[in-house]
A and B are shown apart, each in its own frame.
Chain A
Amino acid sequence: MKRALRWNMALAGVLFMLVALIVLPFWFVLTGSIKEPSEIIARTPTMIPQSFSLQHYVKLLSASDYPLYMMNSMIVATASTVITLLLAIPAGYAFFRMAFAGRETLYRAILLAYAFPSIVILIPLFGIFAKLGLIDTRLALVLVNVAFALPFAIWMLRSFFAGIPIEIEEAARLDGGAPLTVLRRIMIPLVAPGIAAVAVFTFVTSWTEYVFASVMILSDAKRPMPVGFSGIIGQYQIDWGLLLAGASLSILPVVILFAFVGRWFVAGLTEGAVK
């Protein structure tokens, strides 16, 4: 009994440290965003805000292009997510169901593409996009995001399709369902947790992508949030309140997305882990 108690206390201690490690930075960012400037930079940081002010949010939303950057990010991340799903679902299903020469090799090659360091293709890709007239377009960012999210998405969805008993699909076929109908009416609802996991993964990676966006977007009006926001912060003189308010708002869409599909996302991750 004593041993169990000690074990539980040790577990609770580790859990507490882990939660503190993850939650504390968010706590300081969120509470800092509503503090007066002098309190933000105070010599001793305050855990509980001693002042309250929305001035940083007002300044961020009224005197900067932050809302525009958020809108750009929303367009790019949503389009990237939708296109990735539209391509990954049939591709994952094809890798699972279709028999063709080199299927396994191609499947592994896709994962190799995922492991490829993206930074090395930045300049060549810039040249290609320049020739195609895609520089300074949101489409360029969508293409990049889809290209980097697709391998993982296909790999993950294939494992989900593989987990569905073959009898279900055969029964649907016997009832006269064409392959696409079977995919749409039977298989997709069954892999919904996997689709949710892929959607969240793609949205978050697109939402936070910085390197390609910083180089391929030239005009301020098309900048996504991470790049636009880094400019708002400034170099020599940092407005810490603005920084904290912007950082707080930037996680809002991801939090909302998790609120809608979070349960499926977790289910997707755990199911994917054992298949």
Chain B
Amino acid sequence: MTIPKRYSRLTGAALIALLPVSAAAQVDLTLWHMEQPPHRVERVQILLDEFNASHPEITVSQEPQNWGEVYAKAPAALAAGAGPDMLFAIPDFTPILKGIGALTSVEDFVTELDAVHDFNPSAVEAYSYDDGVWAVPLYNMSMNLWYRPSVLSAAGIDVPTTWDEWKAAAEALTKDGMYGMGLPANQQLYTDQTVYSVMANGGASEIYNADGSLNFDTPETVAAYSFYNDMLAFSPPDAASWTWGEAEACFASNSCAMIMQFSVISTYDTQAEGVASDLGVAAIPSKDGGDSNTIAYANAVMLLSQDDEKMEASKTFVRWLLQPENYGRFLNMEPGLFMPVTADGAAADSYWSDPMVEKYRGQIETVIENSQNGMLFGFTSGRVFPAISAISAQNVLAETLQAIAITGTDAAQAVTDGQARMQDLTE
């Protein structure tokens, strides 16, 4: 055997020996998210393709899911060993998976990312409890008051900042086939969100006391519900069955002068006039004109893999996604809806250079500013009460409104009943 032949055989043997190692080094990750509209799936796929190309040892694939089913589907899939490695979440979803032992704290990882990108503290807070941080914040959504400046100025009305002004504006604008304020009264999440946005502006943001007991049945809560019920008089009669889409359609068709919504930019641009200068957004009016609050959802990603290698690969992906040059494009899978939760993301060119974001820059800046006072029921004042998941899942805030608006129960009694219902669900 000549030396070159021996050398080549040795090299071949070495390569064969290395092959299993190379194969084992390849990590396949599955990402579940609930951003199912085709353009969002496409944007996520573009980012995944880029990541996979720049990280040959990792392959991330997406499986879009539906918010309507994921609460039941994810625990079942994880129990069956068919769950994802990464799963998008909102704060009240995380306790469910934590409750079945599917989560490990990512506190160190979030601290590492915070040092680089500077997270909005409230976004991290929503996932920080029980001595851990249970998900990595990705983007924010906050509720705002949307209107057309031309409609308000034609009626000689200023943008309302107090409840009295808001009610007077809605009343004045309800004429000639237009409704002053489109508000839902469906027993559904959208109504939870609008009701809580009103509560948060009437001093009723704390559903729990510091000791964990319920604090829903208060005069402030009753006042907020009474005000909301009064405002329903200026809503279309079918508002009792609305979800987000119907409210947006009402606004886009100029049938509703004002609505509360996370964002109407995409719908306004594609299905209505699309004139940026005639789309107004403001903070939700507060009871007495003080600081305005709003409901805000810090969306996050939970890292679920129990395998160290997969967990590390998942972290590599999240690190990559939060880099400003990628993060802005990720947020703009739905321009104007998903807001940055990192300081460098909020300043990223990749975010502000999107044509839709450029066009509605003023509105988006206002939305980001409004979101600074964002809060979420059960996750306020630095305290997190995981039992809120059961209350949220049953839409008790909306159920309480329905008792008042649909069945005519007195507001004080409905709120008392609401707290009793919360107590039952919590126990």
Which A residues contact B (CB, under 8 angstroms)? 37-38, 40-43, 59, 63-65, 123, 126-127, 130, 135-136, 214-215, 218-220, 227, 230-240
Cα of A231 to Cα of B141 in the assembled complex, Å = 20
Known: A237-B337, A240-B249. 4 other contacts (CB 8 A): A63-B42, A220-B41, A237-B263, A240-B271
Within the complex, what minimum Cβ distance (angstroms) separates B235 from chain A? 14
Q: Which stretch, B77-85, B207-215, B382-390, touches the partner chain A? A: B77-85
**A residues in contact with B38, CB < 8 Å:** 59, 63-65, 232
Interface residues of B in 31-77 (CB under 8 A from A): 34, 36-39, 41-42, 62-69, 72-73, 76-77
Cα of A136 to Cα of B81 in the assembled complex, Å = 12
Can you name 26 A-B pairs with beta carbons within 8 Å? Answer: A37-B271, A38-B253, A64-B38, A65-B41, A123-B76, A126-B76, A130-B82, A135-B80, A136-B82, A214-B69, A220-B63, A230-B68, A231-B65, A233-B37, A235-B34, A236-B244, A236-B262, A236-B263, A237-B37, A237-B244, A237-B248, A237-B267, A237-B337, A238-B244, A238-B245, A240-B249
The 4 closest A-B pairs by CB, nearest first: A238-B245, A231-B36, A130-B80, A64-B38
**A residues in contact with B68, CB < 8 Å:** 214, 230
With an 8 A cutoff between CB atoms, is B266 at the interface?
A: yes
Nearest-CB residue, chain A, relative to B256: A43
- A-contact bits for B231-267, CB 8 A (1 contact / 0 none): 0000000000001110011001111000001110011
Nearest-CB residue, chain B, relative to A135: B82
**A residues in contact with B248, CB < 8 Å:** 237-238
From A41, A215, A220, A237, contact of B253 by CB (8 A): A41
**B residues in contact with A215, CB < 8 Å:** 69, 72-73, 76
Report if A130-B244 is in contact (Cβ < 8 Å); known contacts: A41-B249, A235-B67: no
Within the complex, what minimum Cβ distance (angstroms) separates B311 from chain A? 20
Within the complex, what minimum Cβ distance (angstroms) separates B81 from chain A? 7
**B residues in contact with A235, CB < 8 Å:** 34, 36, 67, 243-244
Within the complex, what minimum Cβ distance (angstroms) separates A205 from chain B? 20
**B residues in contact with A219, CB < 8 Å:** 63
Nearest-CB residue, chain B, relative to A240: B249
Report if A218-B271 is in contact (Cβ < 8 Å); known contacts: A42-B253, A232-B37: no
Cα of A239 to Cα of B245 in the assembled complex, Å = 8
**B residues in contact with A230, CB < 8 Å:** 66, 68
Within the complex, what minimum Cβ distance (angstroms) separates A201 from chain B? 26
Within the complex, what minimum Cβ distance (angstroms) separates B375 from chain A? 19
Within the complex, what minimum Cβ distance (angstroms) separates A38 from chain B? 6
In the bound complex, do residue A43 and residue B37 qualify as a contact, i.e. CB atoms below 8 Å apart? Answer: no
Report if A237-B266 is in contact (Cβ < 8 Å); known contacts: A215-B69, A215-B72: yes
Within the complex, what minimum Cβ distance (angstroms) separates A75 from chain B? 19
Most chain B CB within a 10 A radius of its CB, from A215, A232, A234, A237: A237
Cα of A130 to Cα of B72 in the assembled complex, Å = 15
In the bound complex, do residue B64 and residue A238 qualify as a contact, i.e. CB atoms below 8 Å apart? Answer: no
Within the complex, what minimum Cβ distance (angstroms) separates A140 from chain B? 12
Cα of A238 to Cα of B65 in the assembled complex, Å = 16
Cα of A233 to Cα of B37 in the assembled complex, Å = 6
Nearest-CB residue, chain A, relative to B334: A237
Nearest-CB residue, chain B, relative to A40: B271
Cα of A42 to Cα of B252 in the assembled complex, Å = 8
Cα of A40 to Cα of B246 in the assembled complex, Å = 12
Within the complex, what minimum Cβ distance (angstroms) separates A185 from chain B? 47
Cα of A89 to Cα of B63 in the assembled complex, Å = 39
**A residues in contact with B36, CB < 8 Å:** 231-232, 234-235
Within the complex, what minimum Cβ distance (angstroms) separates B122 from chain A? 20
With an 8 A cutoff between CB atoms, is B177 at the interface?
A: yes
From A43, A130, A238, contact of B177 by CB (8 A): A43
In the bound complex, do residue B64 and residue A220 qualify as a contact, i.e. CB atoms below 8 Å apart? Answer: yes
With an 8 A cutoff between CB atoms, is B151 at the interface?
A: no
Nearest-CB residue, chain A, relative to B82: A135
Within the complex, what minimum Cβ distance (angstroms) separates B244 from chain A? 5
Cα of A231 to Cα of B34 in the assembled complex, Å = 8
**B residues in contact with A218, CB < 8 Å:** 63, 73, 77, 82
Within the complex, what minimum Cβ distance (angstroms) separates B67 from chain A? 6
Cα of A215 to Cα of B263 in the assembled complex, Å = 30
**A residues in contact with B34, CB < 8 Å:** 235
